Amino acid sequence: MNLERIDQIIDKHNAEPSSLIQVLLEIQSENHWLPRQALERVSQRLEVPYTRIQHIATFYKAFSLVPKGKHEINICMGTACHVRGAPRILDSIQDLTGIKPGETDLDLKFSLETVNCLGCCALGPVVEIDGKTHGNLAPGKTADVIKNYE
Amino acid sequence: MSQIQLQIDGKEIKAREGMTVLEAAREAGIYIPTLCHHEKLEPFGGCRLCLVEATVRNRTNLVVSCVYPVQENVVVRTRSEKVDRIRKTILELLLAHAPDSMVLQELAREYGAEPDRFEKESSFCIHCGLCVRYCAEVKGKHAIGFIDRGIRKEISFIPEIAAKECAACKECFPLCPTSYLQSVFVLTEALAASTQDL
């Protein structure tokens, strides 16, 4: 992500220090993670100390300070999904992507994360990819879902 | 500034509006133990050790005196069975993190806190925030800050700023109740030195 784009996002918020989290969220959603140069730029432009930005960026789980893949896969491991076979879905997705929960693949294509409930237990087992929910999955069906994301 | 009349430990005290109970007590020479308080810094309310009993209109509450503003006719008790019991537990919990802190050991003796009550989990930092807040509020350098949250929260220097500012200052060092700050500084220095060679 280049600095011009970061400046654009900052300008959109009139470089208000109170918009810090909004600015960080927008960088996070476009770039999938927050590189150090980006944070330093935000710190300079918003006149917020770097320690404060670092505190906020490490506090919220929505922010990542390490590179994340283009597509974010969240597998529900909640009780309902668990009894409906979430562990087997997780196994099949691990085989397909070659990464474990919390990891990102080398091409920065996928990041895998387990979550504890997505709030739609009736659809279980549920996998959420880039905010889109895929319900009633079976280990045999995951490949069809994953291949839509390049 | 209007005067406010209150009672602390049976003593009638006059305080100014906007003061905290802790400030009023200190001014009247009444001792309340604190770990995260510093007169040059904004109240933080992090250690909860300055907790006292405050009675307003016949209702008694436990309040944290360093962030509790003085009120007309409030009756404050800085020592009671309940207050001492809670302070004892707070100290026992803090001692699990920083067992060798002189400040904590001294307070533990006073309140009869058992240093081995909880399993040791030596993180050394008790999150009083003195170093972080002193650097930001008094010095305005922001060389050290908190990272992460909850049980993983810790202090962390920004190496680039620390390299420029800290050698001549180090004013936060004597503030730390556990000496953990010094070791974080030395570690940052060592890390910076070793990565320079790369």
Sequential DSSP letters for B56-125: ETTEEEEEETTT-B--TT-EEES--HHHHHHHHHHHHHHHHH-TT-HHHHHHHHHHT--TTSS-------
Q: Within a domain: residue B120? A: no
Query: With pLDDT > 90 as the criterion, what percentage of chain B qualifies?
Result: 82
For B155, the 3-state DSSP assignment is strand
Mean pLDDT of the residues in chain B: 92
In a domain, B122, yes or no: no
Q: What is the pLDDT of residues A48-101, one digit of tens each?
A: 999 999 999 999 988 999 999 999 999 999 999 999 999 999 999 999 999 999
Of A49, A54, A58, Cβ closest to residue B136: A49
> ω before A125 within 30° of 0 (cis)?
yes
List of chain B residues whose C-beta atoms are within 8 Å of the C-beta of residue A50: 142, 145, 158, 161
Task: Tell me the C-alpha distance between A57 and A21, whole Å.
Answer: 9
What is the rounded CA–CA span in Å between residue B90 and residue B197? 44
| Chain centre distance of CA A81 | 21
Distance of CA B152 to the CA centre of its chain: 19
- Is residue B19 domain-shared with residue B67, that is, in the same domain? yes
User: CA–CA distance from B183 to each of B124, B173, B193 (Å)?
Assistant: 10, 10, 15
**Residue B179 resides in a domain:** yes
Q: Helix or strand or coil: residue B146? A: strand
B150: contact with A, CB 8 A cutoff: no
* Alpha carbon distance A130, A29 (integer Å): 10
**Does residue B91 sit in the same domain as residue B56?**
no
Cβ pair B21, B45 in contact under 8 A? no
Q: What is the distance between the alpha carbons of residues B34 and A139, in angstroms, rounded to a whole number? A: 57
Say yes or no: B32 and B44 in one domain. Answer: yes
**Residues B15 and B64 both lie in one domain:** yes
Residue A26: how many CA atoms within 13 Å on its side-chain side? 14
How many angstroms away from the CA of A55 is the closest CA of chain B? 5
Does residue B157 share a domain with residue B136?
Answer: yes
Confidence of residue A115 (pLDDT cuts 50, 70, 90): very high
Asked if B144 has any chain A CB less than 8 Å from its own CB, the reply is yes
Instruction: Tell me what pLDDT residue A5 has.
Output: 92
Please name which of B48, B111, B32 lies closest in space to residue B21, comparing C-alpha atoms.
Answer: B32
CB pairs under 8 A between A and B: 29
Nearest to B155, CA basis, from B169, B177, B139: B177
Whether residue B198 has pLDDT greater than 60: no
Domain ranges of chain A: 3-59, 71-146
**In terms of CA atoms, which chain A residue is nearest residue B158?**
A51
Any CB–CB contact under 8 A between B166 and chain A?
no
With 90 as the cut, is the pLDDT of residue B180 above it? yes
Preferred mutation among B149, B157, B188 to probe A, highest tally of A CBs within 10 A: B149
Please report residues of B whose CB lies closer than 8 A to that of A55.
145-147
pLDDT at A122 over 80: yes
For residue B194, the model assigns a pLDDT of: 80
Domain A71-146 fold is Glutaredoxin (3.40.30)
B176 touches chain A (CB under 8 A): no
Check which CATH number belongs to the domain holding B191 and give it: 3.30.70
pLDDT of residue B197: 59
The pLDDT score that the predictor gives to residue A3 is: 87
Instruction: Judge if ipTM > 0.90.
Output: no
Cβ distance B142 to A50 less than 8 Å, yes or no, reads yes
Residue bearing tokens 């360093």: B66
Sheet with B59-64, side-by-side order of all strands: B11-16, B3-8, B75-77, B51-56, B59-64
Instruction: Write the single-letter amino acid at B97.
Output: H
Has residue A44 got a pLDDT over 70?
yes
The proportion of chain A whose per-residue pLDDT surpasses 70, expressed as a percent, equals 100
Rounded mean pLDDT, A8-20: 93
Contact across the interface for B148 and A52, Cβ inside 8 Å:
no
- Mean pLDDT of the residues in chain A: 92
For residue B92, what are the domain limits? 82-111
Contact at CB, B147 and A58, closer than 8 angstroms: yes
Per-residue confidence band for B195, with pLDDT thresholds at 50, 70 and 90: confident
DSSP codes joined into one string, chain A: --HHHHHHHHHHTTT-GGGHHHHHHHHHHHHSS--HHHHHHHHHHHT--HHHHHHHHHH-TT--SS---SEEEEEE-SHHHHHTTHHHHHHHHHHHH---TT-B-TTS-EEEEEES--S-GGG-S-EEETTEEE-S--TTTHHHHHTT--
HEC readout, B3-25: EEEEEECCEEEEEECCCEHHHHH
- Verify that B134 and B107 share a domain, yes or no: no
Q: Are residues B70 and B92 in the same domain?
A: no
- Is some CB atom of chain A closer than 8 A to the CB atom of B149? yes
B18 is a domain residue: yes
Residues B91, B27 share a domain: no
**Residue A124 predicted with pLDDT over 90:** no
CB contact under 8 A, B144 and A59: no
Total domain count, chain B: 3
* pLDDT exceeds cutoff 90 at B132: yes
List residues bridging with B156 in a β-sheet: B145
Neighbouring CB atoms inside 10 A of A139's CB total 16
On whether residue B25 sits in a domain, the answer given is yes
Is the residue at B171 inside a domain?
yes
Q: Is residue B119 part of a domain?
A: no
How close is the nearest chain A Cα to the Cα of B168, in Å? 20
C-beta separation of A49 from B136 below 8 A: yes
Q: Chain A residue closest to B146 (CA)?
A: A55
Least confident piece of the model among A23-27, B67-71, B164-168 = B164-168
Q: Do B148 and A54 touch (CB under 8 A)?
A: no
CA trace torsion B20, B23, B29, B35 (10° rounding): 110
The CATH code of the domain that includes B27 is 3.10.20.740
Residue A48 to chain B, least CA–CA distance (Å): 10
Residue B186, domain member (yes or no):
yes
